Amino acid sequence: MKKTYGVKIAAAATVAVALLSACSGNKSSSTGSTGAKTTWSRMEGDIISTMDPSLITDAISGQAATDTMAGLYRYDGSDLQPDLATAVVKPTNSGKTYTFKIRNAKWSNGDAITANDFVFGWRRTVDPATKSQYAYLYSGIENADAIMAGKKKASTLGIKAVNKSTVEVTLEHAIPYFETMLVNPAFFPQSEKAVDQYGSKYGTQSKYLVFSGPYKLVGWNGTNNSWKETKNDSYWDKKNVHIDQINVTAIKDPSTAYNLFKSGKLDDASLTGDQAAQAKSDPSYQGVKQASTFYLEMNEKKIPAFKNTKIRQAISMTINREEYIKKVLQDGSIVAPNLTPSGLATDPATKKDFSAEAAKTGSQYTKYNPKEATKLWTEGLKEAGLKDLNIELLTDDGENSKKTGEYLQNTFEKNLPGLKVSISTVPFKTRLARSTAGQFDMVMGGWSADFPDPITFLDLFTSNNSYNRGKWSNAEYDKLIDESKTTYANNAEKRWDVLLQAQELLTKEQGVIPIYQRVQAHLVKQGKISGLKTTPGGAYDFVGATVKK
């Protein structure tokens, strides 16, 4: 099952987990050696769904795009570095104009990559005829909303080629996190020649693509379970690409992944559940932290008792997150004291982590405290004029859903007298449809960062946001979020302060109940690879990594 929880493309949070400690130091050690090719074999949980940069939405296609295509910027670990742009630029015109210089680079077919390729790619993505699902990321760029709604032509988008090597982007208002979005494939350049030549087949097979990134995709017929990435000699920074070939296979069964790793067929296997727990004692074990938080949403429209803050706090404090993660999830995930995951963003002044700073106050509301929970619960019920409460916990067919449902049901009924929980299991898409339509009492939801800024999480729970399915509403909170976008848009420190206040308020009120931040368990062959970093979204960056033969 394709789980779109994991939609975390390159443009995501700042969790940089250098996989091995001996990283960036020995960058150019193994280049120039002739003879045998160096290869790295890894796996994905599913197959590539498309390689058309305008259409990519899932993490697997996103990883392949990060490997084979280039945008203006590229993450080197958590550092934003220029890729096709010559430098990371500062905006002018009070944050509304960006001018990028394009470096001298080539497509894999030998054509030069020009400013026009950016203009063409961006217009194509935002054009309704392209049917891009991520076109909404363009919102805020001049005329983007009107183009998406079909009111203006794509050629009116706020991007223009000043000359062959200069791109100018105009925004409708300042977007403090704009530069971090540029590593998303939706903002990559596209060759007009290739798009015209391949027509509707563009991006559906490796032979219907041209590449601008460190690797070329080979042997992908659009639907197969395995594909290869070979070094792209046209890439401008090829001297820092040391692994000649990356082999990727889609494997869905964690036991199969484990067996393949153990028998040496895979250099890197990702595991879940009991296989992950078993692997933890293995010296090859690595945890890759991701910028995604999972939380409980309570439907205040359907169950009025959830409007009571004490009831929400009681539910939160009855969950033993440490135990749940250690015994039920078992994949090394970490406790989420806040909605905003740790490692996502750092204080512009003090460089402290946002989540850690926010957790200083209000962490008692996410700490396991059954006694206090029972007390708050009884008080809350009394205030709501109720004796008991029956709710349905909506879950889906996902990997850990069943265990999680069983655990939560048990723990709630144990500590909260008068609460009866029944579990309803539906397929993932049905679960989403029901969440959106408000047909649930309580549901476990998840969100992963679109870009490394707390607003990608905090914006969700303003009163009118369509993702605020539980309809928790707080005027103070709405005001703080609004201020961060308007009054303080160009004042990083002030903006930080109001976001911090908003996060603290959300935690205190438990408008949503944060449970855990996901860490993905991997088994990585020891001593073979060095210098491999992960981007903030948890994608691998193979530029600069080396492997032993």
Query: Which 256-315 positions form the footprint of other proteins (CB under 8 A)?
Result: 256, 258-260, 262-263, 265, 273-275, 278
Question: Cβ of residue 140: shortest distance to other proteins, in angstroms?
Answer: 13
User: Which residue type, as a one-letter code, is found at position 286?
Assistant: Q
Considering beta carbons, is residue 234 or 249 the nearer one to other proteins? 249
Question: Cβ of residue 486: shortest distance to other proteins, in angstroms?
Answer: 20
Considering beta carbons, is residue 57 or 170 the nearer one to other proteins? 57
Considering beta carbons, is residue 149 or 475 the nearer one to other proteins? 149
For 507, how many CA atoms within 13 A lie in the half-sphere containing its CB?
26
Q: What count of other Cβ atoms lies within 10 Å of the Cβ of residue 197? A: 13
CA distance 360 to 508: 12
Question: Cβ of residue 277: shortest distance to other proteins, in angstroms?
Answer: 8
Question: Cβ of residue 292: shortest distance to other proteins, in angstroms?
Answer: 11
Would you count residue 113 as binding other proteins (CB under 8 A)? no
Question: Cβ of residue 129: shortest distance to other proteins, in angstroms?
Answer: 7
Would you count residue 177 as binding other proteins (CB under 8 A)? no
Considering beta carbons, is residue 196 or 233 the nearer one to other proteins? 196
Q: Which of 76, 72, 65, 75 is nearest to 210 (CA)?
A: 65
Position among 29, 223, 363, 463 found at the interface with other proteins (CB under 8 A): 223
CA angle 18, 13, 339 (to 5 degrees): 120
Would you count residue 249 as binding other proteins (CB under 8 A)? yes
List Cβ neighbours of 501 (8 Å cut-off, separation of 6 or more): 480
Residues 488-527 as x/- pattern, contact with other proteins by CB under 8 A:
----------------------------------------
Considering beta carbons, is residue 25 or 264 the nearer one to other proteins? 264
Stretch that binds other proteins, among 2-10, 18-26, 355-363, 484-492 (CB under 8 A): 2-10
Q: Own/partner pairs for 259-263, CB < 8 Å, 24+ apart? A: 260/43, 261/523, 261/525
Distances (CA, A) of 116 to 94, 120, 177, 281, 524: 26, 6, 24, 52, 41
Residues between 423 and 462 that touch other proteins (CB under 8 A): 423-430, 432-434, 436, 445-447, 450
Considering beta carbons, is residue 202 or 211 the nearer one to other proteins? 202
Judged on CB neighbours under 10 Å (0-12, 13-18, 19+), 408 is buried
Would you count residue 179 as binding other proteins (CB under 8 A)? no
Would you count residue 200 as binding other proteins (CB under 8 A)? yes
Would you count residue 196 as binding other proteins (CB under 8 A)? no
* DSSP codes, 111-153: PBP-HHHHHHHHHHHHSGGG--TTGGGGBTBTTHHHHHTTSS-
Query: Do residues 185 and 175 lie in contact, with contact meaning Cβ atoms separated by under 8 Å?
Result: no
Residue 215 in tokens: 């690797």
Helices (H), 114-247: 115-126, 144-148, 178-181, 192-198
Q: Which residues pair with 520 in a beta bridge?
A: 288
Position among 4, 245, 284, 346 found at the interface with other proteins (CB under 8 A): 4
Residues between 140 and 169 that touch other proteins (CB under 8 A): 148-150
Considering beta carbons, is residue 348 or 427 the nearer one to other proteins? 427
- For strands 389-395 and 419-425, give the pairing: parallel
Considering beta carbons, is residue 79 or 406 the nearer one to other proteins? 406
Question: What is the per-residue burial (b if ≥16 Cβ within 10 Å, else e) of 430-448?
Answer: ebbebbeeeebbbbbbbbb
Query: Do residues 216 and 202 lie in contact, with contact meaning Cβ atoms separated by under 8 Å?
Result: no
CA distance 518 to 165: 41
Residues between 348 and 367 that touch other proteins (CB under 8 A): none
Residues 116-135 as x/- pattern, contact with other proteins by CB under 8 A:
------------xx-x-xxx
Would you count residue 185 as binding other proteins (CB under 8 A)? no
Considering beta carbons, is residue 233 or 322 the nearer one to other proteins? 322
Q: Which of 184, 496, 187 is nearest to 340 (CA)?
A: 496
Q: Please tell me the count of residues contacting other proteins according to CB under 8 A.
A: 84
Question: What is the per-residue burial (b if ≥16 Cβ within 10 Å, else e) of 379-404?
Answer: ebbeebeeeebebbbbbbebbbbebb
Residues between 385 and 424 that touch other proteins (CB under 8 A): 395-398, 401-403, 405-407, 409-410, 422-424
For 440, how many CA atoms within 13 A lie in the half-sphere containing its CB?
29
Question: Cβ of residue 205: shortest distance to other proteins, in angstroms?
Answer: 9
Residues between 457 and 476 that touch other proteins (CB under 8 A): 466-467
Residues 312-331 as x/- pattern, contact with other proteins by CB under 8 A:
-----------x---xx---
